[in-house]
């Protein structure tokens, strides 16, 4: 894949990661006032307006990082879920289909999206 096309996939991932970090930070701040993370999450799930952007659980980076197969489908579903929950982000976060194909082949396959073993052999 050429570099200009690659950015169409990288930028939404960076934005998704940033949204997830902001979500986590806001939950952590609320946790201090509401007796823990579990209580803060429960409140936010009941009233999404308590934070800037609500991320459904499958769209949070901690969940995405656990995925080992079907990454492209999972990412596409995640960005679409964010757009559904945050109409201001529709057309911004959900513009990339990580499952997109060209000439019958996926543009970005799961091998490129999935976790990498970065350990070096001794």
pLDDT at 69: 87
Let me know: does 55 contact 85? Beta carbons within 8 Å. Answer: yes
In this predicted model, which residue has the larger pLDDT, 99 or 62? 62
CB-side neighbour CA atoms (13 Å) of 82: 28
85 dihedral zone (left: phi>0; alpha: psi -120 to 50; beta)? alpha
| Position 1 pLDDT exceeds 50 | yes
Where does the pLDDT of residue 122 fall: very low under 50, low under 70, confident under 90, or very high at 90 and above? Answer: very low
Domain boundaries along the sequence of the chain: 3-112
- CA dihedral of residues 25, 31, 32, 35 (deg, nearest 10): -170
pLDDT band for position 110 (cuts 50, 70, 90): low
Say what the pLDDT of residue 118 is: 39
pLDDT in tens, 27-48: 999 999 999 999 999 999 999 9
Q: What superfamily does domain 3-112 belong to in CATH? A: N6 adenine-specific DNA methyltransferase, N-terminal domain (1.20.1260.30)
Question: Cβ atoms within 10 A of the Cβ of 62, count?
Answer: 9
Q: Are 60 and 22 in contact (CB under 8 A)?
A: no
Beta-ladder partners of 100? none
**Where is pLDDT greater, at 102 or 88?**
88
């Amino acid at each position: 894949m050429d570099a200009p096309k690659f950015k169409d996939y990288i930028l939404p991932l960076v934005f998704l990661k940033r949204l997830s970090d902001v979500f986590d930070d806001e939950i952590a701040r609320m946790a201090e006032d509401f007796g823990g993370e579990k209580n803060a999450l429960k409140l936010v799930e009941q009233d999404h307006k308590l934070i800037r952007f609500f991320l459904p659980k499958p769209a949070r980076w901690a969940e995405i990082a656990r995925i080992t197969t079907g990454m492209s489908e999972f990412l596409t579903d995640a960005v679409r879920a964010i757009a559904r929950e945050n109409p201001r982000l529709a057309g911004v976060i959900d513009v990339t289909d990580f499952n997109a194909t060209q000439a019958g082949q996926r543009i970005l396959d799961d091998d490129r999206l999935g976790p990498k073993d970065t350990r070096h052999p001794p």
